Structure 1
Amino acid sequence: MLRFFRQIRHGLLSDNRFGKYALYAVGEITLVVAGILIALQVNNWNEERKLKAEELAILAELKADLEYSKQELGYAIESNAGYLESYKRIFSYIEKDSAYSVVLDTAFAALDIWAVPYISTTTYETIKSRGMNLISNDSLKKHINQVYNLNIQSLLEDMGRWEWSFSQNTTQRMMVRNIRRSIDQHKAFPNDFERLKRDDEFGNFLSILINIRADNIRYSRNTQMAIERLIASIAQELERRKYP
């Protein structure tokens, strides 16, 4: 092709046809510029296509993370609801001034236990490191940030710190002072249940623990519902853009 153009230029110059040569030169430059612009456009199109494919793939990964986190929250809610019932059982025995029963053995063993869900943030951190503008749907981008920075963060940091702080500063002290744990770890017994029933400090501790655990379950359920809504939004986006 280049040889063909050289031959045309040589012929025009040899015949002293400078006007036609100038016109030809302009045409050749135009063709070169057009070729460059087309190449750039094709390159931009390819880059845009790669970014779209990457966005959809990472949204699918985020959806998988959220589905796993939702399942983990379900396990934690179920476990914490069981612990809460144990605390209420102890409280009921104290309120009714009932005699000690072996059904309380596992309830006392659960006083310093709570379930913490594993929330996967790997894909979200990847999106942040790449830049949130990787997500082209502004509404979906806002939804993702809200769930991770409000719902999940509140559960893991605010509620998590409250649980940990109360356990370390209050629960453990009450356990050491009043409860003897069995070697198998699944049972524990009060040193003196009759005295414990009359201990206002223990009663106050138990009522606070019940409220903390109830709040934990409420936070977890709210977060679980927020995650469910986000999963639905991502699924809708993938379906709209026909991601396999």
Structure 2
Amino acid sequence: MTRFFRHIQFRFGTERKLSAYLIYAAGEIFLLVIGILLALQINNWNSNRKDREAAIKAYQNISQQLTEDRNELISVRDFNNYYSARYERASELIAGHAAEKTDSIAILIMELSQYSDFHRSENIYETLVNSGSIKLLKNSNITSALQKLEMTYTSINKLEDIHWEIILNELYPEIRGVINYATLEIVKPDRLRSVEIQNFLVESIYLTKAKELVYNKAINEIDTLGDEIAKELNHKN
């Protein structure tokens, strides 16, 4: 009988130990899972923090580049507008048929070789794509606006290329034998009022006016972009 009770006591004791072990093991597993989840959460937090810091840096770089582009565009636009007014003055003098204005016309005709040429240090959108930073910019309005601005820049450069081509192919051949480049002496005064030069003046005025419109368009797009980036930076900070 004593052996029977000892057997029952041993069995219950073993079951209690097993239950305690299972509870302990479950607790260990629970703590391990919690630890893994916390580690993942911390890792995600660190990753998000790094992405946010990288995005802020990317937006700041874009903002700085846009500021430089805007300053360059204003300078180029002012240069363009100054000579546009000079071309209009030359056209007025030629149309007036004032013989005493020949020297003034000659100087203005020589200035037709001046043209505005916008240069930027880099292609912002292309640089973002190549560096992989584009994925950090979650604001689709900004990325779309950057693409639109690149298209506007392309339009600017195309107009400038056209302007240079007509200077090279139409102006230089026409005035080469009319004005002595070294002394600015007018060799053939009558040619200053030729149809060819008058037509070139009209083309130049048209091009400078078109360039002014596109310069202003780019400046307005930069201003809008700048506002969007400022809002994004304020939100992230």
Instruction: Specify the TM-score bucket, using the shorter chain as the normaliser.
Output: 0.7 to 0.9
2:139 corresponds to which residue?
137
Residue 105 (structure 1) shift = 4.7
In structure 2, relative to structure 1, the CA distance for the partners of 1:222 and 1:23 (3 Å cut) is: same
Partners of 1:175 and 1:101 in 2: how far apart?
A: 14
In structure 2, relative to structure 1, the CA distance for the partners of 1:33 and 1:177 (3 Å cut) is: farther
2:196 corresponds to which residue?
201
One-letter amino acid matched to 2:211: N
Q: How does 1:53-72 map to 2 (within 5 A)?
A: 53-72=53-72
Which is greater in Rg? 2
After the TM superposition, which of the residue ranges 166-175 and 33-42 deviates more from structure 2? 166-175
1:119 corresponds to which residue?
120
2:218 corresponds to which residue?
223
Residue 118 (structure 1) shift = 2.6
One-letter amino acid matched to 2:32: V
Partners of 1:192 and 1:93 in 2: how far apart?
A: 17
Normalising by structure 2, we get a TM-score of: 0.83
1:128 corresponds to which residue?
129
Residue 46 (structure 1) shift = 0.6
1:213 corresponds to which residue?
208
Residue 101 (structure 1) shift = 4.3
After the TM superposition, which of the residue ranges 88-97 and 230-239 deviates more from structure 2? 230-239
Residue 131 (structure 1) shift = 4.6
Task: Please state which structure has a larger fraction of its residues in helix.
Answer: 2
Residue 145 (structure 1) shift = 2.1
Partners of 1:25 and 1:190 in 2: how far apart?
A: 104
Q: CA RMSD in A?
A: 2.4
Partners of 2:181 and 2:155 in 1: how far apart?
A: 32
Identical positions, percent: 24
Partners of 1:97 and 1:50 in 2: how far apart?
A: 71
Is there any run of 5+ residues in structure 1 with no aligned partner, and where? 1-13
How many residue pairs match? The answer is 222
In structure 2, relative to structure 1, the CA distance for the partners of 1:219 and 1:237 (3 Å cut) is: same
Whether 1:75 aligns to 2:75 is: yes
Is there any run of 5+ residues in structure 2 with no aligned partner, and where? 1-13
Residue 189 (structure 1) shift = 5.1
Residue 193 (structure 1) shift = 2.2
TM-superposition CA deviations, 1:66-110 (whole Å, max 9, x none):
111111111111111111122222211211111234434542221
* Structure 1 outlier segments of 4+, above 4 Å: none
Q: Secondary structure at the match of 1:111?
A: helix
